[in-house]
Amino acid sequence: MIAIEDKFKSYLKSKGLKFTPEREAILKEIFSFHGHFNVDGLYERLLRHNKNISRATIYRTLPLLVKNGLIEETFHCQDKSNYEHIFGHKHHDHMLCIGCGKVVGFREEEIEKLQEMVCKKYDFHSIKHKLGIKGYCKECYKKFKNNKA
């Protein structure tokens, strides 16, 4: 956690911003679990840990963490952005259930190879990519199918 904190402090300092107790609490909460989150979920987690931090502070802090490369927006769905911490983690892609909101992270080497081939074919030099698949998880698809019948 110290390396993460130092990276964020250094970034904030370079932008003339302070490492406030609120920003510290947000950073620690995000890195205390492995999973996807949105502002509302993070706000509720902070409240459960007796951290009374406004949603506005969370909304202002998340872009700083994204720009610093500590977290990444995984999906934007139903007017909510979902995030995850990425510092020290390998690249992976995501599937989002539009029924229940579940996010599944996955890595498929065949997809990675195909992307490389496409870039080579078009003489394109990729520095980053994000693959997102929206659909229904098994449980929601059953409900969806049953409601259409």
Percent of all residues in the chain with a pLDDT value above 90, rounded to a whole number: 66
Instruction: Name the domain boundary from 40, 58, 89.
Output: 89
Q: Residue 57: what pLDDT?
A: 97
Q: Residue 81: what pLDDT?
A: 86
Residues paired with 57 in a beta bridge: none
In a shared domain, residues 110 and 147: yes
Q: Residue 149: what pLDDT?
A: 61
The whole-angstrom separation of Cα 99 and Cα 13 is 41
Residues 6+ positions from 50 with CB-CB distance below 8 Å: none
Percent of all residues in the chain with a pLDDT value above 70, rounded to a whole number: 99
CATH, residue 139: 3.30.1490.190
In one letter, which amino acid is 65?
L
Domain count of the fold of the chain = 2
Mean pLDDT of 55-71: 96
In a shared domain, residues 32 and 66: yes
In a shared domain, residues 20 and 53: yes
Instruction: Name the domain boundary from 89, 105, 120.
Output: 89
Instruction: Name the domain boundary from 89, 119, 137.
Output: 89
Mean pLDDT of 77-81: 77
Residue 60 has pLDDT above 80, yes or no: yes
Q: Residue 141: what pLDDT?
A: 93
Residues paired with 37 in a beta bridge: 83
CATH, residue 48: 1.10.10.10
Residue 54 has pLDDT above 80, yes or no: yes
In a shared domain, residues 37 and 12: yes
In a shared domain, residues 114 and 77: no
Mean pLDDT of 65-93: 87
- Contact, 41 vs 79, CB < 8 A? no
In a shared domain, residues 15 and 75: yes
Evaluate the CA torsion angle 11, 13, 17, 21 in order and state its sign: positive
In a shared domain, residues 52 and 124: no
pLDDT band at 74 (very low <50, low <70, confident <90, very high): confident
* pLDDT, tens only, 98-147: 888 888 889 999 999 999 999 999 999 998 888 889 999 999 999 888 87
In a shared domain, residues 6 and 75: yes
* pLDDT, tens only, 22-44: 999 999 999 998 888 999 999 99
User: Domain containing 120: what range?
Assistant: 91-149
In a shared domain, residues 84 and 121: no
Evaluate the CA torsion angle 87, 90, 95, 101 in order and state its sign: negative
Evaluate the CA torsion angle 137, 138, 143, 148 in order and state its sign: positive
The whole-angstrom separation of Cα 78 and Cα 28 is 27
**The residue to which tokens 């609490």 are assigned:** 25
In a shared domain, residues 76 and 27: yes
The whole-angstrom separation of Cα 57 and Cα 149 is 46
